[in-house]
Each structure stands twice: as structure tokens, then as C-alpha cells.
Amino acid sequence: MKKSMKRWIAAAAALFVLLPAAAQMQEAYPSYIQVYGRAEKEITPDEFYLQIVINERDSKGKISVESQQREMIAVLKRAGVDVEKQLKVANLSSEFFKKNTSVASAKYQLQLGSAAEVSKVWQALGDLGISDVSILKVSHSRIGEYKREVRLEAMRNAQQSAREMAEAVGQTIGRCFYIYDANNDVMPLYYDNAVVMRSAKLAVAEGAVEEEPLDFKTIRLEYSVQAKFVLE
């Protein structure tokens, strides 16, 4: 009798252990729906970073880097540029080759706020004889804010997709228990502005005066996310 009672108690104890385990298993692997969310946004750039290189070479009638720099600063100020805030010296170097021959160069980074300003400055530098000008990058002053917006919109898109699919089979969605962020960051996908820059150089070379600003295209932000929602 005692042995039988002990076996019954042991079986009951085992059942007591298994039931919570089964409940945990069910909780860990619920009936769920898996969806992908995506969002994108196009924004017009308002930050333009130019690289300007000034070179000096020993020859008759040479113009020193310092002289060209003074002229460049004067031209930029006349164009409405705050040189103290917008112009930075990126590099200054001097190399010696053959006897009585030296090469010196200075590299600058200039930040501008509009396509019209870029066009105006580009032409002014070209008129000054400074032709080694290139676009480093374009961006937006609120790029961080827009990145967050796109990221959250992708998650909302995933939730809406899950809700619509669940409703199609007469169910609803519960909590989201899994989110996979497929992106380390929302990286802006820039359009190729090389053609625009070549057009600007050609216009300066030909002495053309562009009344309209250069046609920079928009910055495109894209984001995707994977999520799982419990079906109820």
C-alpha cells in the first residue's frame, strides 16, 4: 500500500513538473505570424561639402598658394559665405623635386547650404582660376531625425501588414515578440551627381552664367525590418 502511494505521489509530482514545462514550451513557441516591414523617404539636400585644391608651381609669373587663398576668401565673402564657419583647411603640403623647383598645395573643405550657393561659388572660383573643385558629399541638416522616422515607419508598416493578414483569416495580432533589425544604420543612398558636376565645370570653362541652381537630386533613405507577432 505504501509503495503504491509512493508511486502515485511520484507520478503526480512528475505531472506537476511537466505541466509548467509544457506551458513554457507553448509560451516560447506561440502561434504567430512573421512579416517584413519597409519604409523609404526622399529628401532634398541642404548641406553640400566641396573640396577645393589650390596648387602652386615654380614658374614665371607664379601665383603663391597664400595669394590665391586671399583671393579665394575675398571671392567667397562676396558670394555671401561665412568663411570662418564654412571654410576649413583640410591639408597643406610642400614637396621638393628638382633644383629650383617646388610644388606646394593647399586643400580646403567648404560647406554650403543650397544648390544655388554651390552654383554661384563654383563659377566664382572658376573665374578666379581655381578649377580643382569637387563635391565630397551631400547631406541634410536633419538627416539623423529623418533616419529615425524611416526606421519607425518600417516597424509600423510591419505591424500593419501583420494586422491585415491576421484579419484575413479571422484572427488578431497580439504582442510582438521578435524584431530583427536588418540594418546597422539607415544609410542614405545618394544619386549620382557626377553628371551635374561635369556640367558645372563645363559651364565655368565656357564662361556661361547659370541663373538657375544646379540640379541636385534627392537623398533616398530606405529601411527594412522583420517582426513576429502572436496570433490571437
Each residue's pLDDT expressed in tens, for the chain with a length of 232 residues: 555 555 544 444 444 444 444 444 445 556 999 999 999 999 999 999 999 988 875 555 667 778 888 899 999 999 999 999 999 987 766 544 444 444 478 889 999 998 888 888 988 888 888 888 888 888 999 999 999 999 999 999 999 999 999 999 999 999 999 999 877 665 555 545 555 555 555 554 555 544 445 667 788 888 999 999 999 9
Question: Is 77 in a helix, a strand, or coil?
Answer: helix
Q: What is the CATH number of the domain that holds 166?
A: 3.30.110.170
Same domain, 100 and 131: yes
Same domain, 59 and 111: yes
Same domain, 135 and 116: yes
Residue 7 within any structural domain of the chain: no
Position 115, amino acid: A
Strand ranges, E, within 64-172:
87-96, 102-112, 133-139
Distance CA 199, CA 180 (A): 43
Distance CA 193, CA 171 (A): 49
**pLDDT value at residue 4:** 54
Same domain, 145 and 232: yes
Same domain, 229 and 171: yes
Same domain, 166 and 214: yes
Q: What is the CATH number of the domain that holds 121?
A: 3.30.70.120
Question: Into how many domains does the chain fold?
Answer: 2
Same domain, 83 and 157: no
Residue 232 within any structural domain of the chain: yes
> Rounded to 5 degrees, what are φ and ψ at 29?
-125, 70
- What b/e sequence results for 149-180 when a residue is b if at least 16 CB atoms lie within 10 Å of its CB, and e otherwise? bbbebbbebbbebbbebbeeeeeebeebeeee
Residue 213 within any structural domain of the chain: yes
For 72-109, write each residue's pLDDT tens digit: 999 999 999 999 999 998 776 654 444 444 447 888 99
Same domain, 58 and 171: no
Same domain, 101 and 178: no
Distance CA 74, CA 55 (A): 18
Question: Is 169 in a helix, a strand, or coil?
Answer: coil
Same domain, 227 and 148: yes
Q: By residue range, what is the domain housing residue 126?
A: 47-139
> Rounded to 5 degrees, what are φ and ψ at 109?
-120, 125
Same domain, 148 and 219: yes
